[in-house]
């Protein structure tokens, strides 16, 4: 059954980078420490850009490095147009962008449109009273101190999404922490100011944005009570409706006024891919949207087959392009969720051979698991410290972090360090490098159509084909038992087996994934 027959663009030779490429997410606190204070920083990232080049990714997405009191580790921004001293200074951001571009790596920065920090001057002004210039930039409603204006509850707690301000006798809305007041995008000055933030970074040369919970910005002023299951977490799974679409069109127009393929990918934590796809509009809203349905799919061949079909049927009719992610800074790493290295290797083959843009999360190429974080060292209000552990670069990983890393290192850090894995063909790192090189060299893989093929239970099979280069077939065994009765006799291109290893053309071993060619 051919399910995706076009690459969505008339000229296959010129797919924009964000369709043909692979994006690598960096969480700046934990990528690399340039000054030995135990916390990652921008000079650390710049010094390690060679890792991204050697890995073979096309773009880096940087989680927030802006000025912030760090109540939500940077997702509470107090100055969008400056670098937090923890991470360096503005000149370090410029240097990072220049160095990335010099090696051909695109730069995507985080854009946090839904809320700011309580310490942002806009909110500080709003707190001065009902007549303040920036008062209406936020969402204020009347109500008795113990009577929140509606039934919405904030993320990371079961508490109301409202905090009462005694001085003015009103509540302000925060879908996340009380330290993250929501902006009111119904106010034209907010739109202008936030467009100014986009311009600031576009003018500094960034290639795109990852827009944090961007589907939340179009809230209707009525702010009606929600059914109980949605009220529990209105920031998630809530389709806020028409206001957001209008704002996204404005953002898209702004990006298109700049030369080059500037891109916005939305963090769309929505109930299904059809709702997710609606935020691409008619190719006039987001360029890409994260597929959280697939991110949360269990490791089963039939479930992944369904995710592939669902993404194609939601996106193909509108010319949208899929994205695939297995890990990020908000959920346990897939190596931890899947429970074995063998499965993580098969998952890498899946991620890097599907039709769509893969987003890697730093450290997955090392096969890192979540760190065990003892109670007394936990710092994130959302309980997400484990996946944010610092990366091991050398066989002295503690030393990479000045002997005082801000979080415990992941298990087995020395053995899984970049230094220890480099050049070892059996390592996860070399597995990722081989897969990324194959993907880049093979048009069928980075831009071709995808056709699902029949396969025995437990196996997922698909064919990728483009108008140039060989067709490629992928077969993945999602189980930990060998599965026979297959015909995989064609030329071995890659997979979980080592290059040169002998493979049985009729059998996929436990957790085996195999890429073969048609010729």
Within residues 153-172, the interface with ligand TEU by CB under 6 A covers 155
The single residue among 330, 396, 398, 419 that binds ligand TEU, judged by CB under 6 A, is 330
Q: Minimal distance in Å, beta carbon 175 to ligand TEU?
A: 8
Q: Whose structure tokens read 């409202």?
A: 162
> What span, in angstroms and rounded, lies between the C-alpha atoms of 23 and 475?
24
Q: Whose structure tokens read 């409706």?
A: 241
Query: Which residue number, 19 or 329, has a Cβ lying nearer to ligand TEU?
Result: 329
Query: Which residue number, 384 or 464, has a Cβ lying nearer to ligand TEU?
Result: 384
Within residues 9-48, the interface with ligand TEU by CB under 6 A covers none
Burial (CB count within 10 angstroms: exposed 0-12, middle 13-18, buried 19+), residue 132:
middle
Q: Minimal distance in Å, beta carbon 62 to ligand TEU?
A: 13
Q: Are strands 492-495 and 66-67 parallel, antiparallel or unpaired?
A: unpaired
> What span, in angstroms and rounded, lies between the C-alpha atoms of 138 and 15?
40
Of 487, 338, 453, nearest to 508 by C-alpha is: 487
Q: Which residue is nearest to ligand TEU (CB)?
A: 75
What is the three-state SS of 14-74?
Answer: HCCHHHHCCEEEECHHHHCCCCCCCCCCHHHHHHCHHHHHHHCCCEEEECCCEECCCCCCC
Examine residue 72 and tell whether it contacts ligand TEU (CB under 6 A).
yes
Q: Minimal distance in Å, beta carbon 80 to ligand TEU?
A: 13
The single residue among 75, 152, 279, 401 that binds ligand TEU, judged by CB under 6 A, is 75
Query: Which residue number, 104 or 298, has a Cβ lying nearer to ligand TEU?
Result: 298
Interface size with ligand TEU, residues (CB under 6 A): 14
Examine residue 332 and tell whether it contacts ligand TEU (CB under 6 A).
no
Query: Which residue number, 239 or 330, has a Cβ lying nearer to ligand TEU?
Result: 330
Q: Minimal distance in Å, beta carbon 249 to ligand TEU?
A: 22
Examine residue 230 and tell whether it contacts ligand TEU (CB under 6 A).
no
Examine residue 382 and tell whether it contacts ligand TEU (CB under 6 A).
yes
Q: Minimal distance in Å, beta carbon 335 to ligand TEU?
A: 18
Of 404, 480, 388, 359, nearest to 22 by C-alpha is: 359
Specify the 3-state DSSP secondary structure of 423: coil
The single residue among 152, 172, 176, 201 that binds ligand TEU, judged by CB under 6 A, is 176
Residues labelled catalytic: 212, 267
CA dihedral 477, 295, 45, 181 (to 10 degrees): -170
Query: Which residue number, 130 or 296, has a Cβ lying nearer to ligand TEU?
Result: 296
Examine residue 213 and tell whether it contacts ligand TEU (CB under 6 A).
yes
Within residues 336-365, the interface with ligand TEU by CB under 6 A covers none
Examine residue 269 and tell whether it contacts ligand TEU (CB under 6 A).
yes
The single residue among 84, 212, 473, 512 that binds ligand TEU, judged by CB under 6 A, is 212
Contact (Cβ atoms closer than 8 angstroms) between residue 56 and residue 73: no
The single residue among 3, 226, 231, 236 that binds ligand TEU, judged by CB under 6 A, is 236
Which sign, positive or negative, has the C-alpha torsion 157, 160, 162, 167? negative
Q: Whose structure tokens read 């195999």?
A: 514
Examine residue 401 and tell whether it contacts ligand TEU (CB under 6 A).
no
Which sign, positive or negative, has the C-alpha torsion 79, 81, 86, 87? positive
Q: Minimal distance in Å, beta carbon 85 to ligand TEU?
A: 21
Q: 5-21 b/e with 16+ CB inside 10 Å = b?
A: eebbeeebeebebbbbb
Examine residue 82 and tell whether it contacts ligand TEU (CB under 6 A).
no
Query: Which residue number, 289 or 472, has a Cβ lying nearer to ligand TEU?
Result: 289
Query: Which residue number, 15 or 59, has a Cβ lying nearer to ligand TEU?
Result: 59
Q: Minimal distance in Å, beta carbon 115 to ligand TEU?
A: 7
Contact (Cβ atoms closer than 8 angstroms) between residue 129 and residue 209: no
Sequence-ordered alpha helix ranges (H) in 57-120 = 90-102
Q: Minimal distance in Å, beta carbon 116 to ligand TEU?
A: 10
Contact (Cβ atoms closer than 8 angstroms) between residue 356 and residue 312: no
Radius of gyration of the chain (CA): 23
Query: Which residue number, 62 or 486, has a Cβ lying nearer to ligand TEU?
Result: 62
Binding site for ligand TEU (CB under 6 A): 72, 75, 112, 155, 176, 212-213, 236, 267, 269, 329-330, 382, 384
């Amino acid at each position: 059954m051919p399910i995706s027959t076009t690459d969505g663009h008339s000229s296959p030779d010129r797919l924009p980078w964000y369709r043909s490429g692979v994006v690598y997410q960096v969480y700046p606190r934990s990528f690399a420490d340039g000054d030995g204070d135990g916390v990652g920083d921008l000079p650390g990232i710049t010094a390690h850009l060679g890792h991204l080049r050697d890995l073979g990714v096309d773009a880096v997405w940087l989680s927030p490095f802006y000025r912030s009191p760090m109540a939500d580790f940077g997702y509470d921004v107090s100055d969008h147009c400056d670098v937090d001293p923890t991470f360096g200074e503005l000149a370090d951001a410029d240097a990072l962008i220049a160095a990335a571009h010099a090696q051909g790596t695109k730069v995507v920065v985080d854009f946090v449109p839904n809320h700011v920090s309580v310490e942002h001057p806009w909110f500080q002004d709003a707190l001065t009273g009902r007549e303040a210039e920036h008062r209406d930039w936020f969402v204020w409603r009347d109500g008795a101190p113990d009577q929140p204006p509606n039934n919405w509850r904030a993320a990371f707690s079961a508490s109301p999404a409202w905090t009462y301000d005694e001085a003015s006798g009103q509540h302000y809305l925060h879908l996340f922490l009380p330290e993250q007041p929501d902006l009111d995008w119904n106010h034209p000055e907010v739109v202008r100011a936030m467009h100014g933030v986009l311009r600031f970074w576009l003018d500094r040369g960034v290639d795109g944005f990852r827009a944090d919970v961007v589907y939340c910005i179009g809230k209707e002023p009525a702010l009606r009570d929600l059914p109980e299951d949605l009220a529990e977490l209105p920031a998630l799974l809530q389709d806020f409706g028409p206001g957001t679409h209008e704002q996204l069109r404005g953002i898209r127009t702004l990006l298109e006024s700049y030369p080059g393929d500037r891109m916005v990918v939305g963090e769309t934590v929505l109930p299904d891919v059809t709702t997710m796809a609606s935020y691409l509009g008619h190719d006039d809203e987001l360029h890409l949207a994260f597929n959280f349905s697939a991110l949360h799919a269990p490791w089963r061949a039939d479930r992944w087959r369904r995710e592939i079909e669902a993404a194609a049927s939601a996106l193909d009719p509108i010319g949208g392009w899929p994205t695939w992610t297995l890990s990020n800074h908000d959920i346990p790493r897939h190596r931890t969720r899947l429970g074995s290295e063998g499965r993580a290797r098969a998952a890498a083959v899946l991620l890097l051979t599907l039709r769509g843009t893969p987003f890697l999360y730093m450290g997955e190429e090392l096969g890192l698991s979540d760190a065990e974080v003892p109670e007394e060292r936990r710092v994130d209000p959302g309980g997400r410290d484990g996946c944010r552990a610092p990366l091991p670069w050398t066989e002295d990983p503690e030393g990479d972090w000045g002997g005082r890393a801000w979080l415990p290192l992941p298990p087995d850090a020395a053995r899984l360090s970049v230094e220890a894995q480099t050049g070892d063909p059996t390592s996860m790192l070399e597995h990722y490098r081989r897969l990324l090189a194959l993907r880049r060299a093979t048009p069928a893989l980075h831009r071709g159509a995808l056709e699902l093929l029949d396969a025995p239970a437990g196996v997922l099979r698909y064919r990728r084909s483009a108008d140039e280069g060989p067709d490629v077939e992928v077969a993945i065994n999602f189980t930990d038992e060998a599965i026979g009765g297959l015909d995989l006799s064609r030329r071995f291109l890659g997979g979980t087996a080592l290059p040169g290893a002998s493979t049985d053309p009729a059998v996929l071993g436990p957790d085996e994934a195999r890429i073969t060619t048609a010729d």
